């Protein structure tokens, strides 16, 4: 058996693909890595929200899953839309890295500095900035991590606001100058984990061996809860929805919500369940957020993005 692994071509995406390849090798399975350029990789002069959040980093990869050129796709879980196109499924989630956000820079950063400029195009991060550090200016900085760091050093911004997982996996730990508290600056759904996507028609033996090699059950339970919440909110990566699930003593706690773009309105809540009810707790949290002001925030955001 040989597994054909599809991935985007950035160094971080390839790190994830090679990690999956190593896990498969431990199960005695050969694999081949195939790189694929996506819409999100090609269009770098506008924000993700302007491109459209659904399938920005997955559409071209899914085409190759469908026609059999690849067997599995390795994604950052946070890039995956809440509802997959018909005929596709996620069969495994890798063990989660720390999920919090960080600032990466080549110089000392003070968040109280009046002329500070941060590089980010994430609506969630922009909204949190407006709430906690409204004086900070931002610029959208797209491209792979190495490209963004070069742009920062060239003077586009003072620091980059990134997920810890990506900075750590690319060995930029020495450039981390600030770590955000995830209980305040709650991460994006799925942040820190990898997701394996397949076409439902893929041979079951291949699905089983990939799941055996890659899936980390506690991470999977957390991501099922988070993605269920995101689906209920009908959110993509252009909507400032946040969510983080944790497990302790077989109790799953999901904390999540939505924040208005100006940072002035936040609807958030924590829900608990057993790990076997992960999907249900996500739906319950989503219903609460929508019914308690979240729907109005969503409508306002979509009007703003349509302008």
Instruction: Please give the Cα distance from 6 to 69 (Å, whole number).
Output: 9
**What is the residue whose two structure tokens read 């979240």?**
294
Classified as helix, coil or strand, 188 is coil
Q: Are residues 268 and 210 in contact, defined by beta-carbon separation less than 8 angstroms?
A: no
Please indicate whether residue 79 is annotated as part of the active site: yes
Instruction: Please give the Cα distance from 122 to 45 (Å, whole number).
Output: 14
* Angle at the Cα of 59 from the Cα atoms of 58 and 60, rounded to 5 degrees: 100
Instruction: Please give the Cα distance from 197 to 83 (Å, whole number).
Output: 12
Q: Which of 41, 79, 101, 158 does the annotation list as catalytic?
A: 79
Nearest to 229 by CA among 275, 185, 270, 274: 270
Classified as helix, coil or strand, 246 is strand
* β-sheet bridge partners, residue 256: 243, 269
Q: Which two tokens stand for residue 92?
A: 């495994």
> How many C-beta atoms lie closer than 10 Å to residue 54's C-beta?
14
Q: Are residues 3 and 71 in contact, defined by beta-carbon separation less than 8 angstroms?
A: yes
**What is the residue whose two structure tokens read 């249900």?**
280
Q: Which residues are catalytic?
A: 79
């Amino acid at each position: 058996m040989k597994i054909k692994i599809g991935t985007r071509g950035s160094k971080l995406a390839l790190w994830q693909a090679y990690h999956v390849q190593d896990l498969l090798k431990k199960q005695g399975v050969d694999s081949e890595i195939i790189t694929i350029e996506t819409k999100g990789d090609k269009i770098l002069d506008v924000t993700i929200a302007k491109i459209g959040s659904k399938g920005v980093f997955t559409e071209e990869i899914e085409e190759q899953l469908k026609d059999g050129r690849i067997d599995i796709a390795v994604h950052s879980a946070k890039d995956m839309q809440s509802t997959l196109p018909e005929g596709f499924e996620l069969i495994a989630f890798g063990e989660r890295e720390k999920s919090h956000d960080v600032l990466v820079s080549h110089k000392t950063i003070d968040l109280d500095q009046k002329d500070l400029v941060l590089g980010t195009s994430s609506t969630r991060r922009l909204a949190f900035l407006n709430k906690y550090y409204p004086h900070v200016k931002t610029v959208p900085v797209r491209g792979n991590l190495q490209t963004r760091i070069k742009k920062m050093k060239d003077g586009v911004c003072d620091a980059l606001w990134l997920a810890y997982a990506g900075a750590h996996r690319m060995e930029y730990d020495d450039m981390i100058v600030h770590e955000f508290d995830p209980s305040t600056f709650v991460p994006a759904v799925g942040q820190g984990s990898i997701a394996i996507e397949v076409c439902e028609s893929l041979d079951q033996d291949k699905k089983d061996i990939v799941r055996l090699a890659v899936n980390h059950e506690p991470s999977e339970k957390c991501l099922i809860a988070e993605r269920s919440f995101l689906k209920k909110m009908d959110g993509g990566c252009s909507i400032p929805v946040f969510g983080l699930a944790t497990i302790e003593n077989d109790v799953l706690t999901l904390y999540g919500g939505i924040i208005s773009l100006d940072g002035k309105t936040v609807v958030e809540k924590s829900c608990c369940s057993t790990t076997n009810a992960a999907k249900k707790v996500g739906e319950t949290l989503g219903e609460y957020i929508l019914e308690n002001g979240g729907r109005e925030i969503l409508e306002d955001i979509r009007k703003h993005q349509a302008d």
